[in-house]
Structure 1
Amino acid sequence: DLGSEATMYNEPYPSALTFSGVNGALWARLAERFPEASIPQACMSCTVEMRSQFDVSHAQGEQDAARLLRWIVRQGIIKGEPGRLPRLKVPATPMQGMDVGYCPKDGFLAYHLEPGAKVKKGQAVCDVIDPANPHGPKARTTIYAQTDGVLFAKRLNGSLAWPGLVLYRIAGEQRLAHRAGMSGLDD
């Protein structure tokens, strides 16, 4: 319904506490602990990330609002006819399969890919360019994908970068060992 570039799911009881995980997992844990009580799943939760703060237009806003409303109708929260459920652009992937690219040094950013691009492990995603020596032998530091997947987010609100800054996110099908126990919102 949302037209998202990537759809990710988390473990039923994630070790990292997020709004979605805490809100939904509480009822599942109670039902598991007290099966004789027949405790229903009293709520559902999800997190929807909608672009960056600078990637906004009236047309996108209208389209996003219509998609969110259709999803709310489909959930039965309000009455209406949601229409046919559209297919996902790519299969849903585990949250622990998300590759988060971090910046290793100060510089300017130049991307090789746009959100929605299919990516292979080892493929160049972006470069960090040294402003003090933009033409020197170490002028560019290329940041490479750590998994196969879909690039679904990149830094869009500026070209300046610094150490530790999140540069991109890739939704990958395979769980990454270094992401175990992380929520995806750990940065």
Structure 2
Amino acid sequence: MHEPIDLNPDRLTVAFGGPLQPALASSTLTLPTTTVEVAVLSASHQVRTLEGHAIETLACNTGGRMPGPRRVIVHTGVDRWDMAFDYIVETVDPTGLAALVGHLRERARTEGVVHAFPGHPHAVTAVLPTPSGDGWATWHCYPEHGRVARSTTTVLAHDRIAVAVHGASR
């Protein structure tokens, strides 16, 4: 039998832009710079700004590229802000995964979204605001592989970038 492609973290790709996908679960997050709708798509996620600035999809067969453990700056084409996307896949033991999933579920009671999948209590996808409030973080938990694909996206307002660069040059 053919393995469904959303069950393997090695098959995830990231794309910016593109069509909206049907969601299994969704939530709205209000950030200082924008409001976003976060959606869980099977073992994948999609985030879109309600103002229409950008769409980020981390899923299998997005037509995008394989993300790597590095920062990617996404130029949205919208005046005054861009996004920074960071991604990594980590190996976790069963105890660590159980603790992580418990923490994600607890946070999702007040913000964000966590969606569980049949077959294993720790097979979840979560999208939550970052602690600083300037973006979102995602966790794609694959207990059968002992791995977690994690991403963080930060909304970068150009005026904040200019201040940071200006301050560094002094």
TM-score interval w.r.t. the shorter chain?
under 0.3
TM-score by length of 2: 0.28
TM-score by length of 1: 0.26
Q: Which has the higher strand share?
A: 2
Which of structures 1 and 2 has the bigger CA Rg? 1
